[in-house]
Structure 1
Amino acid sequence: MNLPVRRLQAGQSMVETLVVAALVTALLAMPIDGSSSVVALMLAAIKTAFSKFLSAIALPV
């Protein structure tokens, strides 16, 4: 069974993209030097910003 070369190359590029995306995700989720990971720091920053936003909305006009 002979598949066109183009179809095989398209499949290979999808696998390469998946591997790179998995590596980037793994690196972002790992803790850095014993501290929190980038994902944990980002979630904490979002939580703080949302808390400050809700406090600002609650202020009287």
Structure 2
Amino acid sequence: MKVDVQEVGACKRRLEVEEGPEVVQQAWERAFARVQKEARLPGFRKGKVPRSMIKL
């Protein structure tokens, strides 16, 4: 992971964070799994909404 901090003002900082695609993909998968457990959509039971419907 690469982190770059730039001073923008007296009380402001700008952060740039770079991470590899495999780490980002794993984070997306975990996030979708959490959302999918609680997702409610007419026609589907709670937690049974397909990922393709959530990604829309």
Q: TM-score range by the shorter chain?
A: 0.3 to 0.5
Which of 1 and 2 has greater Rg? 1
Larger relative strand fraction: 2
RCO higher in structure (CA 8 A, sep ≥6): 2
TM-score by length of 2: 0.40
